Structure 1
Amino acid sequence: MLQVQGVHKSYVTAQGPLAVLAGVDLHLAERSSLALMGESGSGKSTLLHLVAGLDRVDSGSIRMGQQRLDQMSETQLAHWRRTEIGLVFQQFNLIGSLRVDDNLAFQARLAGRFDPQWQAQLVERLGLGDLLKRYPEQLSGGQQQRVAVGRALASRPGLLLADEPTGNLDEATSDDVLQLLLDLLRETPTSLLMVTHSARIAARLDRQVVLQRGHVQAPDAS
């Protein structure tokens, strides 16, 4: 479903080019979940941004199904992000001027896939029924992240990308949000690629890999 092959990415610094990814290979099957781990600065978020089409590879390929992201124009990438993926970030990134119900529907409306029945199911499963008319600033961190999860899944994307989605939550709330996310994924065709520093969180997903020295390795690799 997702195939990353030989991806290289460097950035220009005052000291010269900084190689972050040095030939990364990664695959993710349909309806599966994968935890991407690694030390701070190992390139986890860089790889996630490349898969999201938010940045460009220096070389290598990123395929999702029959589509080559690395060969798309900016216009094609923008359309692909609207319609094919969902994004969940550590900082929630809700729209402060919109109430919960409109935040939930925002991505699905952009994608032309708003489904009132599916949104109602998400509201019920995420326990947001009493919060729909509130604004993000009136919610706790756990409530905001549940809204962010619902927004990302409302369009039933093929791929959900999550960057430390529970990093700002306490352990109990983190576990609750992650369980809700995994339960909802089982009811959709969506695959999950999650960046996390937590081995405990990573263990809940189907597979775990570690990004180290610009390459993807098995978790127990040295």
Structure 2
Amino acid sequence: MLKIQGLCKSYPTPQGPLAVLRGVDFELERGRSLALMGESGSGKSTLLHLVAGLDRFDSGSIQIGGHSLAGLDERQLAAWRRTGIGLVFQQFNLIPSLPVADNLAFQARLANRHDPHWQAELVRRLGLGQLLQRYPEQLSCGQQQRVALGRALAAKPPLLLADEPTGSLDENAGDEVLDLLLQLLADTTTSLLMVTHSPRLSARLERCLILHGGRLLEPGEA
């Protein structure tokens, strides 16, 4: 599903280029889950943003479903984000002017994949049935994160990218959200790449890699 080879990324600084990724290689198969760990500033979010087409890499390759992101212009990358991936962030990023029902459908409508039956199933399994006419500001953090998960999954993306998706929640609420996410993914062919700082949460996924010194390591190698 996702194949990354020799991925390099640096940022300019007054002291010269700062290398964040130094030849990253890994693969994620369809329907599988992978946790990405590493100390603060190690480049975890940078890697996720490159896969999402939100930033440009210096060299290497990113292939998703056999298609390369290299050479795509901004319009093509925007189309790719609408149809090829789902994004879940720590900050939720719900649209404050839309009620829950419309927030849930937003991404799927952009991708021309709105499926009322699948959305109804997401509403049921995420426990959102009594919240559909509420606005994001009227929800708890845990409820907002469940809406964000539902929005990301409503379009049935091939790949779900999650950046610290439980970071704004307490431990119990975070566990509940991850339980729901893994249960929903088990019924789809969506692959999951999740950035987390928590060894406890990373252990719930099928595989874990650690970003250290710009390279990926297996647990125990760092």
TM-score by length of 2: 0.99
How many residue pairs get aligned? The number is 222
Q: Secondary structure at the match of 2:17?
A: strand
1:155 is aligned to 155
Give the letter aligned to residue 202 of structure 1. S
- After TM superposition, list the pairs within 5 Å mapping 1:15-164 onto structure 2: 15-164=15-164
Shift of 1:27: 0.7
Between 70-79 and 176-185, the greater mean CA deviation after superposition: 70-79
| Partner Cα distance (2:134, 2:7) in 1 | 43
User: In structure 1, the residue corresponding to 2:146 is in which secondary structure?
Assistant: helix
Which one-letter code corresponds to 1:24 in the other structure? V
Which residue type is aligned with residue 123 of structure 2? Answer: V
1:153-208 CA deviation, whole Å, 9 max, x = no partner? 00000000000000000000000000000000011110000000000000000000
How far does the alpha carbon of each residue in 1:122-181 deviate from its partner, in whole angstroms, 9 at most, with x for none?
A: 000000000000000000000000000000000000000000000000000000000000
Secondary structure (helix, strand or coil) at the match of 1:6 reads strand
Q: CA deviation digits over 1:40-95, x for unaligned, max 9?
A: 00000000000000011100000012210122121111101000100000000000
Paired with 1:144 and 1:65, the residues of 2 have a C-alpha distance of: 30
Equivalent position amino acid for 2:64 in 1: M
Give runs of ≥4 in structure 1 deviating > 4 Å: none
The one-letter code matched in structure 2 to 1:193 is: L
Matched residue type, 1:37: M
TM-score calculated relative to the size of structure 1:
0.99
Instruction: Please tell me the residue identity of whatever aligns with 2:124.
Output: E
Is the partner of 2:70 in helix, strand or coil? helix
Gaps of 5+ in 1: none
1:154 is matched by which residue type in structure 2?
Answer: A
Q: CA RMSD in A?
A: 0.6
Following the alignment from structure 1 to structure 2, what is the Cα–Cα distance between the partners of residues 217 and 75?
A: 34
Question: How far apart, in 1, do the equivalents of 2:14 and 2:94 lie?
Answer: 35
1:193 equivalent to 2:217? Answer no
* Amino acid across the alignment from 1:61: S
d(CA) in 1 for partners of 2:205 and 2:66?
25
